[in-house]
Amino acid sequence: MDEKTSFRELTPDIILPCVEECCGVSLEAVITPYNSYINRVYGLQDEEGRRHIVKFYRPQRWSAEGILEEHRFLQQCAEEQLPVIPPVILQDGTTLGEARGIHFAVFPLRAGRTFDITSEKDWARLGSVVGRIHQVGKKETAPHRTVCSPAATTGKYCKQLVAQGLIPPDCLDDFQSVCEQTLALITPLFAGVENQRIHGDCHRGNILDRLDQGLIVLDFDDMMTGPAVQDLWLLLPGHLSDCRTEMDLLLEGYSRFVDFNSESLRLVEPLRFMRIIYFLTWSAMQARDYNFEQNFSAWGTQAFWIKEIEDLNYQLERIGEHLSG
């Protein structure tokens, strides 16, 4: 099934009855689309006034087993009273529904505001939340999810971007060169690193403040197996060398719940490079979607790739500086 065609088939006359049947509720005939490029996400409300979110997963991105591993992680976190939103149990006792061959899950809507960090205690508080999640993450494995390592992901993504013919010929050699140099430099750093279930996309935009109810961590869609430091560096406002105080405070809170190997800090700047490549691959996956084209019209142009390669080379320099320092 073609991804773009299948998502466009998700019309209200398909979404509403499908969710009603799977959840055993009656819904108002109003659907609110949310900004989400990789998946399709809609707000719904039942006749009792309860608000829900239904997420339709992009076909061919995750297997059913992989999605259920995300749900399992969320459920385990919720059982430990962690601030997450597990999916709703459907009528058939599972958390994963299907409509026209597209997997979906339903979540209760939980609103909040951006968590503004204004004190050292706030940084430690964030670290504590991540530490508690990682405490649960260590309990099981997720064999159907991405492994965050240069060999398992970044190298493959670089080859994929080249093979898809997305990079202009004048930029191709420069792109391949910076990728090859960086992979050769960072791959040995991941040897012997302990991996576990992590959030994977733990930036501050995925953490909301519900004021009297505390923080809540959203969007485990990128849940993966990887080094714990991945969920910490994404919270920083800049490069590690410029954010030592913030990292120390995060680790102060984190270490209250789980041990942290300080040697893994050497992975922070390599992980930043890997995230740039991941984001390019993520964008390429949906580059021909109408909504993406409208919002990122310059994506894929020669000027775009020149800027991306400049950023990759800059990050390679930062990695070298960090390792030599």
pLDDT tens digits, 128-184: 999 999 999 999 999 999 999 998 899 999 999 999 998 999 999 999 999 999 999
**Residue 178 has what pLDDT?**
97
**Residue 1 has what pLDDT?**
43
Q: 291 falls in which pLDDT band (50, 70, 90)?
A: low
% of the chain with per-residue pLDDT over 90 = 74
**Residue 325 has what pLDDT?**
66
**Residue 36 has what pLDDT?**
76
Residues assigned a catalytic role: 201, 219
CB 240 within 8 A of CB 269: yes
Q: Is the pLDDT of residue 269 over 90?
A: yes
pLDDT digits (tens, 9 = 90+) for 198-252: 999 999 999 999 877 789 999 999 999 999 999 999 999 999 999 999 999 999 9
Least trusted range by pLDDT, from 33-37, 112-116, 241-245: 33-37
**Residue 290 has what pLDDT?**
62
**Residue 2 has what pLDDT?**
47
% of the chain with per-residue pLDDT over 70 = 95
**Residue 60 has what pLDDT?**
82
Q: What is the mean pLDDT of residues 30-43?
A: 86
Q: How far apart are CA 57 and CA 84, in angstroms?
A: 19
How is 153-195 classified by DSSP, letter by letter? IIHHHHHHHHHTT-S-HHHHHHHHHHHHHHHHHHGGGGTT---
Burial label for 173, CB within 10 Å (0-12, 13-18, 19+), is exposed
Q: How far apart are CA 314 and CA 70, in angstroms?
A: 34
